[in-house]
Amino acid sequence: MDYCITNLTEHGDSRGMLISIEEGIDVPFDIKRIYYIYGTEPDVRRGFHSHKNLIQLLVCVSGSCKIHLDDGYETSEVFLDSPKKGLLIKNFIWREMYDFSKDAVLLVLASEKYDESDYIRDYNDFLKFARREK
Ligand code: TYD
């Protein structure tokens, strides 16, 4: 499946930790947009979409959450429980985010600006797109 988990480099000293993410070095794309999801209510599941042309790096910078991934053939679950763990997701991967801890802040770096026409929000449409791409 077109995703990978990367270990971000931590710069720590006696004061605490710092992680830096640079385009072209820590992410293989130009960062055109940043957003973050927080204050998620208990038992909420969100996402339920795929993209036609978007690469994203997800980092749960506080707390934890789970990500369900589906490429139309197989599914996978990723537990984001560390600010050091980056989840890189490419095109035509259906994603759902769930099990957010109360303190979860999910940071997302994206290769494109927000464009609703890039979304595939219907699961059956996603399956058609994903299987055509293979
Ligand atoms: P939505 O797509 O429902 O979030 P999720 O996929 O995480 O469930 O987005 C929620 C709202 O935020 C919706 O009105 C669109 C808006 N939005 C932006 O304006 N810019 C963005 O970059 C994103 C991701 C969402």
Q: Dump pLDDT digits (tens) for 47-72.
A: 999 999 999 999 999 999 999 999 99
Burial (Cβ within 10 Å: 0-12, 13-18, ≥19) of residue 85:
middle
The Cα–Cα gap between 122 and 9 comes to: 37
- Contact predicate 57/86, CB 8 Å: yes
Low-confidence ranges of the chain (pLDDT < 50): none
Extract the tokens encoding 10.
């931590």
> What is the pLDDT at residue 134?
67
Nearest to 127 by CA among 82, 72, 62: 72
Q: Of the residues 60, 111, 114, which should be mutated to test ligand 1's pocket, given the most ligand atoms within 8 Å of the CB?
A: 114
Is-above-0.85 flag for pTM? yes
The protein residue whose alpha carbon is closest to atom 23 in ligand 1 is: 114
> What is the pLDDT at residue 124?
97
Please count the CA atoms within 13 angstroms of the CA of 3 that sit on its side-chain side: 25
